[in-house]
Chain A
């Protein structure tokens, strides 16, 4: 549990997030949390609520708002993922998600840098963030490292070897993540196409998805990409992921048909999900996620 003064710091952070997006002419939206269907994700299990689901992220509804004509939107909402609990995980957590029409993932990385620098300034931290024994400099630009290069630098196997042995995540977590963002935040970018179900593929390299992850002090803070806006391609990827879910013995639930219908009206855009609890851990130098929230599930 967090102290009241800790909750005040967190409230100031959330206030600053709203200020950042207000200043940049973003529309704050508030989409439903309880949904009849969610995007099929092989490794994200939704929490059921009657015959419906609690959202695992607000992605599909927000993309429908882009398709309906909103060019810049953001949302701060609760997301729910079954079985996720650890020092950096909560089954119910707070997500900041935003979409920006007309830019791609590289432009979105710039916006991430601006946001974090703005927030650190707003809460009185300046450009040097202490975390554990580290001092993380927020001076821009931050390092951008292709995933394949990260494997080359830190892992005992190549990205291709890890993918074919189905150990990509294991190698990432154990060999690579601990090195990421120890001096300044870092973007890992260009993920294998199979790991970016809702991301656009690179034009000159279709084996790669235009996806990135932001890390600071070894913490995974955000995941963003150039959005896939091709409904046929999106449907076929959903179908593939549904098969992976079925192979685990899980029910993939119905396909999000409304989203797929409206996707053709969505403009080119980039979008990102940023964990506010993780961001608060980083900015407030908290070793566990429990220290930045009002109550843990165990305290309820």
Chain B
């Protein structure tokens, strides 16, 4: 058979190969137990994590690493909540010390209301981090011009937003996402904005290498079931992209043969 059944279809970022194209966040869950169950249901092999001060008044409280094993899942430390390049760099240096990982997610935000990335600061931080040996996956606007600048500056993955963080609005600008996919030689992942399974499928049908999401799963009524839905949506969208969709027509075209009609 030359027509292929679903095949092994991995992707590679900074020399690490993954079979799952879904990256999930670990914030906003009821507790770490539910979080861990959702990660399993999602089939994700990479999870984003934040770096925060330890709780000095209650040092015995549960910690993420007890529920989601960093030896089993690739931890992708992020810089969520950082609004300057300096804050982001300080956070990622601590992340590297805490976990020993060089693969990180950079996000430098501009203001609380829309959490849109500050691309000037993001590019500045990317250059400094890359010079320090970090492998940087970059959260960015869906601007193909800036995406190109990030790639030229050494980003190991380009991660444009589909819509504002936590909004669940779905891909607002599929044209731009597609332009970024077409021009990029490093992986492109939609990061932020996915609200439900069809949004993830749309991202994958546009040719993205993967999708990163948190709130769409964590704030679903049943997060574990939604995690499973997202797993299937990413696979479905990817296979549809590989299969090559039919041409759109302005008119009907019957599916049953016209010849031999009684």
Whether both chains belong to one complex is answered with no
